[in-house]
Chains A and B, each alone.
Chain A
Amino acid sequence: MSSTKYTYAVARIRALEIALFDASVIEQLLACSTEQQCIQLLQEKGWGDADTPAKAEAILDREQEKAWETIRDLHVDMSVFDVFSYPNLFHNLKAAVKEACTSQNGRNRKIYYEDTNISPDEMLDIIRSKEFSRLPEYMASAAKEAYETLLHTGDGQLCDVIVDKAALEAVYHAGERATDSIIRDYAESMVAIADIKIAVRSQKTAKTIEFMKRAMAPCKSLNVERLAKAACSSMEAIVDYLAGTVYAEGAAAIAESSSAFERWCDNRMMRTMQPQKYESFSVGPLVAYLLARENEIKTVRIILSGKQNGFSEEAIRERVREMYV
C-alpha cells in the first residue's frame, strides 16, 4: 500500500491547484495601473488574511507562510521537503552569525525567516554560545567556520560564501538521499543553476578562480572546475561551456541579459514540473504545488515592485515567469 500513501495529499492538492494563478490572472495584474489596484485584486483572489495589512510585503509573506502551512497540513513525511527548507534555514544561520558578531544582546527580527525547523532565537543562542554541535551535522562545521571567519577577518562576503556553499551542499546531499526522482532532479537543477549564477556574477565582478571554487558546489550535470575557468576567461566562454551541457538554453538567456537568465531558470523549473499534473500517487504533485506557489509569489512580487517603481508594462512583462497551471 506504500504506493498509495500520497493519495489523500495529491487529491487535496488537485483541489487547491484551482486557486493557483494562471496566465490570465497575471495579465489582469499587469493591466492594473497602480500597485494598490494590484493589491486589491490579490485580496479579491483571497491573498493574505482578513487581518493582513494591505501592503505588498505583508501579503506576500503571508502567502509564503500559507504555502508551507498547506504542505504541513497534508500530514506527509516532512523530511521529503527538507531540500526546500534549507535555503531559509541557512539564511537564518547567516543572519545569526552576523548578529552574533556585531551585537551582544537582543535580536533584529526583520532579518530572519520565522518559519524554520530551528527557530531564529535558538539559532542565535547556538551561535552566541558557540555550541555548534547543537546544529544539524550539515550546518555545524560551516557555522563554526563562518563565525570564526567573520570574527577574525570581518569579511561579510566570505562568511556568506561559506554558508551559501554549505546550503548548496546540504540541498544536494538531501537530493541524493531522496527516494523520489523529482527531489533528486530539483536538487541537481538548483545546485547547477546556483553554480551558473555564481560564475556569471563572478565574471562580472572579476572574482578569482579560487573564490569561485570556494563558492561553487559540485554537481553531476556541471563540471564546476571548467565553469570556473570559463568564468575567469569571459562571458562568452561561460556561454560556450554551457552550450555543451543540458543548460544550453540557459546559455542563450545569459547572452541576452541577467534578468532573462533568472526568468529562464524559473521557467525551466516550472516546465520540469508540468508532468506532475498527471501524477496521482507520488510526492511529485506536492513538490510541484509548493514550487508553483513560490513561482507565483515571486511573479507577483516582480509585478508589484515594477508597479511600485513605475516600470512600464513591457518592462515588467519581460520579467514575468510562466505559471504552472
Chain B
Amino acid sequence: MSHLGIVYALLGAALAVFLAGAGSAIGVGIAGQAASGVVSEDPSKFAKVLIMQLLPGTQGIYGLLVGFITLSKIGLLGGGMLELTPQQGLLVLAACLPIGIVGLISGKSQGKTSAAAIGIVAKKPEQFGKAMLFPAMVETYAILALLISILAVTNLQF
C-alpha cells in the first residue's frame, strides 16, 4: 500500500502520453488518408498536404512533455524517487488528465479538420494559408490543456 501514491502518479504520466498519443495517431491517420487521396491524383501537392497531415501530431508531443515533467517531478528520472501518499499520487494523476483527455479529443477532431482542409488544398492550392488556419484553431484547446497540466504538475508541493 506504501507504493500506491507513486502508482497513481505513474498512471497519470501514462494517461497523458497514452491518451494524447492515441488522439494524435487517430488524427494523423485520418489526415493521412485524405493526403494520400490528393497525392494519388496530384503528387505536386505532397509538401502542402504533408504539413496538413502533421498538424494533429502535436497532441502526442504535448502528452509526452507532460509525461516527462511528471516523471521528473516524482524523481523517477533523476533517481531518488519521492515517497508519495495516495492523495498526492491522485493529485498528480488529476494534473495529467487535461492534456490526456483534451489531447485525445482534439487530436481526432484536428485530424478531421485537416482532412477537410486538405480538400481545400486539392482544389485551391493558393488558399493553403487559409486552409491551414482551420485545423490550427483546434490546436488552441490542446495548448490550453497543456498549459494547465504543466502548471498543475510543476506547482504541486510535496
- Of A8, A16, A18, which contacts B36 at CB under 8 A? A8
Chain B: interface secondary structure?
A: helix
Bound Cα distance A91, B89 (Å) = 73
Mask for A1-39, Cβ within 8 A of B = 1, else 0?
Answer: 100100111111111111000000000000000000000
Complex Cα–Cα for A7 and B119 (A): 10
Q: Indicate which residue in A11, A16, A18 contacts B115 across the interface (CB closer than 8 Å).
A: A11
A10 to B123, CA, bound (A): 12
Partner of A8, one of B33, B42, B112: B33
Q: What is the CB-to-nearest-CB distance from B50 to chain A, in angstroms, rounded to a whole number?
A: 13
B133 to nearest A CB, angstroms?
A: 16
- When distances are taken between beta carbons in the complex, the residues of chain A under 8 Å from B41 are 12, 15-16
A281 on the interface (CB 8 Å rule)? yes
Distance A129 CA – B7 CA, assembled complex (angstroms): 75
User: Distance (Å) between the CB of A3 and the closest chain B CB?
Assistant: 8
A280 within 8 A of B: yes
Q: Mark B37-57, 1 if CB is under 8 A from A, else 0.
A: 110111001000000000000
Task: Check A10–B42 contact: CB distance below 8 A.
Answer: no
Check if B116 is an interface residue, CB within 8 A of chain A.
yes
Among residues 53 to 100 in chain A, which have CB atoms less than 8 Å away from a CB atom of chain B?
A: none
Task: Across the interface, name the chain A residue whose C-beta is closest to B111.
Answer: A4
Would you give the shortest CB distance from B39 to chain A, in whole angstroms?
Answer: 8
B35 part of interface (Cβ distance < 8 Å) = yes
Q: Is the CB of A7 within 8 A of B115?
A: yes
Interface centre among A7, A17, A280, by most B CB within 10 Å? A7
> Are A7 and B122 closer than 8 Å at their CB atoms?
no
- Chain A contacts of B122 at CB under 8 A? 11, 14-15, 17-18
B38, A7: Cβ atoms under 8 Å? no
- C-alpha gap A18/B41 in the complex (Å): 11
Number of chain A interface residues as a range: 10 to 19
Chain A residues, CB < 8 A from B20: none
Q: Is the CB of B123 within 8 A of A11?
A: no
Which of chain A's residues has its CB closest to B40's CB?
Answer: A12
B33, A280: Cβ atoms closer than 8 Å = no
Distance between Cα atoms of A13 and B34 in the complex (Å): 10
Bound Cα distance A16, B38 (Å): 9
Say which size band chain B's interface belongs to: 10 to 19
A10 and B120 CA atoms in complex are apart in Å by 12
A4 to B40 alpha-carbon distance, docked (Å): 18
CB of B132 closer than 8 Å to a CB of A: no
C-alpha spacing A7/B118, complex, angstroms: 10
Whole-angstrom distance between the Cβ of A111 and the nearest chain B Cβ: 35
**Residues of chain A contacted by B36 (CB below 8 angstroms):** 8, 11
Most chain B CB within 10 A, of A11, A14, A15, A18, is at A11
A10 touches B37 (CB 8 A): yes
Beta-carbon contact of B33 and A11 below 8 Å: yes
Give every chain A residue within 8 A of B33 (Cβ-Cβ): 4, 7-8, 11
B31 to chain A, nearest CB (A): 8
Interchain CA distance A17-B123 in the complex, whole Å: 7
| Interchain CB contact (< 8 A) of A15 among B30, B38, B112, B116 | B38
Interface contact B123-A7, CB-CB below 8 Å: no
* Interface mask (B103-136 → A, CB under 8 Å = 1, otherwise 0): 0000000001001101100110000000000000
Distance in Å: Cβ of B15 to nearest Cβ of chain A:
22
**With contacts A4-B115, A281-B112, A281-B115 known, is A14 near B38, CB below 8 A?**
yes
Residues of B contacting A17 in the complex (Cβ-Cβ under 8 angstroms): 122-123
In the assembled complex, the Cα of A10 lies from the Cα of B41 at a distance in Å of 12
Binary CB contact string for chain A from 94 to 116 against chain B (1 if under 8 A, 0 otherwise): 00000000000000000000000
Kindly identify which residue among B35, B38, B42, B115 contacts A280, using a CB–CB cutoff of 8 Å.
B115
Q: List chain B residues, Cβ under 8 A from A8.
A: 33-34, 36-37
Note all chain B residues with C-beta closer than 8 A to A280. 34, 112, 115-116, 119
CA separation between A247 and B116, bound complex, in Å? Answer: 34
Asked whether, in the complex, the Cβ of B112 is within 8 Å of the Cβ of A12, the reply is no
Asked if B37 and A4 make an inter-chain contact with CB atoms under 8 angstroms apart, the answer reads no
List 14 contacting pairs A-B, 8 Å CB cutoff, sorted by A.
A1-B26, A7-B33, A8-B34, A8-B36, A8-B37, A11-B37, A11-B115, A12-B40, A13-B37, A14-B119, A14-B123, A15-B38, A15-B41, A281-B112
Binding site for A on B (CB under 8 A): 26, 30, 33-38, 40-42, 45, 112, 115-116, 118-119, 122-123
Sorted nearest first, the 4 A-B pairs with minimum C-beta distance are A11-B37, A12-B37, A15-B41, A11-B34
